[in-house]
Amino acid sequence: MSNCAIIVAAGLSRRMGFDKLAADLAGVPVLRRSVEAFLNCPAIDSLVVVCPQERFDALLPGPFPKPVIRVDGGDQRQESVQNGISAVPDDTTLVAIHDGARPLISSESIIACLDAAGQYGAATVARPITETIKRADQNGFTRTGIEREDLWFMETPQAFRISVLRGAVLAVVTLDLTVTDEVSAAEAIGVSAKIIPSPSPNLKITTPSDLRLAAALLQ
């Protein structure tokens, strides 16, 4: 029995305007920081990195202390995750799926998420929504408030028993669903994810200001 991490890093960084995964973050590329977080986590036995060969060669030169497999991504995130699942080792029992653009993830969060997935079948790191939420009309004017109690921002990793994850992926394909995360795929087969609150910042690098904030947090 072993635990595998799938690092999804096949995106084109359209909103950033340049390859955000190659961006320098306190002297280390964003993607390498994300991968090293899982390489350094004692609960992870192997990794699958979903990214182009050129990105892997440029940002992730080996050797590695754990087995690392690279696979190509797909046109959509869910296709990239499917490719990653197909490459996990045969003895894998738990899989943690992580966005390569979240370089500040801690071992504490990874371990807690895996432990909860082993107990409940699925788990996700998330943070509670604390801001005031409003619904707007098509012209950009506020109309109504939305109760923020029990609302959460989904983050990664999202972890699953391998049987749950494979069943969820099959449902997405069979039902022709479009999902933006794997928790949504698991919900399609009736499996709810246990929420693990983020104990520390776990932001996703999407804009240049996110890079500056991540650098400040690292310091």
In this prediction the pTM is 0.95
How many domains is the chain built from?
Answer: 1
Residue 179 lies in a domain: yes
Residue 188 lies in a domain: yes
Residue 94 lies in a domain: yes
Residue 145 lies in a domain: no
Residue 42 lies in a domain: yes
The C-alpha R_g of the chain, in whole angstroms, comes to 17
Measured from the Cβ of residue 129, the count of other Cβ atoms closer than 10 Å reads 14
Q: What is the CATH number of the domain that holds 118?
A: 3.90.550.10
Contacts with 64 (C-beta within 8 Å, 6 or more apart), sequence order = 39, 47
Strands (E), the chain: 2-8, 24-25, 28-29, 46-50, 68-71, 92-99, 122-128, 133-136, 142-146, 152-161, 194-197
Pull the structure tokens for residue 120. Answer: 């409940």
Query: Residue 194's closest CA among 163, 137, 152, 166?
Result: 152
Residue 140 lies in a domain: no
Residue 86 lies in a domain: yes
Residue 125 lies in a domain: yes
Distance CA 126, CA 184 (A): 14
Per-residue pLDDT tens, the chain, 219 aa: give them. Answer: 899 999 999 987 666 777 999 999 999 999 999 999 999 999 999 999 999 999 999 999 989 999 999 999 998 899 999 999 999 999 999 999 999 999 999 999 999 999 999 999 999 999 999 999 999 999 999 999 999 999 999 999 999 999 999 999 999 999 999 999 999 999 999 999 999 999 999 999 999 999 999 999 998
Residue 50 belongs to domain spanning: 2-129+157-218
